[in-house]
Amino acid sequence: MRSVIYALLLSLPALPAFAEGASSDEVDEDESVLSFTLENDLPANTDQYYTNGFRLTWTSEVNDVPYAVRQGAEPLLNTGGKLRWQATFGQNLYTPQDIKLEDPPEDDQPYAAWLYGSVGVISDEPAEGDRFSGMQTSALLSLGVVGPAALGEPVQDFVHDLIGSPDPQGWDHQLHNEPAVLLMLQRRWVFGAPLANYGGLRVDAAPHGTIALGNVFTHGAAGLTFRFGDPPEGDYGPPRIQPASPGSGYFGPVVGGDTLGWYVFAGAEGRAVARNIFLDGNTFEDSPSVDKKIFVGDLSAGFVVTYDDFRIAYTHVLRTPEFEGQSGPSVFGGITVGWRF
């Protein structure tokens, strides 16, 4: 039954993809974008660690940014170029390895949920005369709550009843209520000249760097993504849920005016972690916690298909163990559906 539900989620009609900036004057920039991203460990047939996350994001047209948002972003990025702003609502859920235990082990992933809203600004600085080259910088401020107020228990109970999975028994041991603040700064460099070109299909690479500050996550990260195919303009990878390598919600027309575009991708990111509230526990009071690992790595691969104003993407992720005693890596998949309008 769980497989059927997940297949239905994969076939949802494309809810719009969120934009992070175009890279060519040929792109129609007078468009907003809406996207929905769902990540779940169902592809690994597990219910553990980072078990589910979703985000719904709306992104504005180019340079349609409110004055207050632009002013707030000025100390963090270049606001003189092409700017978009975005609003996001999302939730992350975390559970231990065995959700059937009413009293989970003290050395396992604590139960935790994070409910948040975000406002972000994306600055796109394309290279002259090259639709693929450029630098993209984003600043994202998330405010929310960790703990029972984040509604992790009722959401997981509802979904598990819907798909016929066992109800989790240990939510009484989740982290306590705490205001959650996160500031994410990300920069991605996109190189116009492909590493190789096969009959019009590109092979290219994009490195990136991230700084996260807050009581939710504090870490520094760097990574690299390779891509092969016939990508649309301004598309640098599907959106992801933090912590993760940066994605691009925006996607423009396929080069040459084709209706259909596609590419496959693979990438890696390494993080040096100073704080992860879902492992370290609450900031101001005692709560369940584990000994986190300082260095964590993600390997990811997937595909993106666009058709006219719609896009669907799938990402499969393997995350190295995040705490001492973790039984193995976390494995989960993510689906993004989107519409440019």
Average of pLDDT values for 235-263? Answer: 80
CA distance 93 to 79: 34
Residues facing residue 300 across a β-bridge: 267, 317
CA angle 81, 86, 87 (to 5 degrees): 160
Q: Tell me, what's the pLDDT at 2?
A: 42
Q: Is the pLDDT of residue 55 over 50?
A: yes
Boundaries of every domain in the chain = 2-340
More reliable by pLDDT, 107 or 231? 107
**What one-character DSSP code corresponds to residue 31?**
-
Superfamily for domain range 2-340: Outer membrane protein (2.40.128.140)
Write down the mean pLDDT value for the chain. 85
Token pair, residue 67, equals 């004055």
Q: Tell me, what's the pLDDT at 64?
A: 85
Average of pLDDT values for 307-316? Answer: 93
Helix (H) or strand (E) holding 146: strand 134-146
CA distance 246 to 54: 16
Q: Tell me, what's the pLDDT at 29?
A: 56
CA distance 247 to 243: 11
Q: Which of 6-10, 37-41, 189-193, 228-232 has the highest mean pLDDT?
A: 37-41
Average of pLDDT values for 62-85? Answer: 85
Helix axes 152-163, 2-10, angle to 10 degrees: 100
- By the 8 A CB rule, do 50 and 40 touch? no
SS (H, E, C) 243-305: CCCCCCCCCCCEHHHCCEEEEEEEEEEEEEEEEEHHHHCCCCCCCCCCCECCEEEEEEEEEEE
Q: Is the pLDDT of residue 20 over 60?
A: no
| Span 135-149, pLDDT tens digits | 889 999 999 999 999
More reliable by pLDDT, 250 or 69? 69
Q: Is the pLDDT of residue 21 over 60?
A: no
| Span 220-245, pLDDT tens digits | 999 999 989 888 776 777 889 999 98
Q: Tell me, what's the pLDDT at 128?
A: 65
| Span 123-137, pLDDT tens digits | 888 766 555 567 889
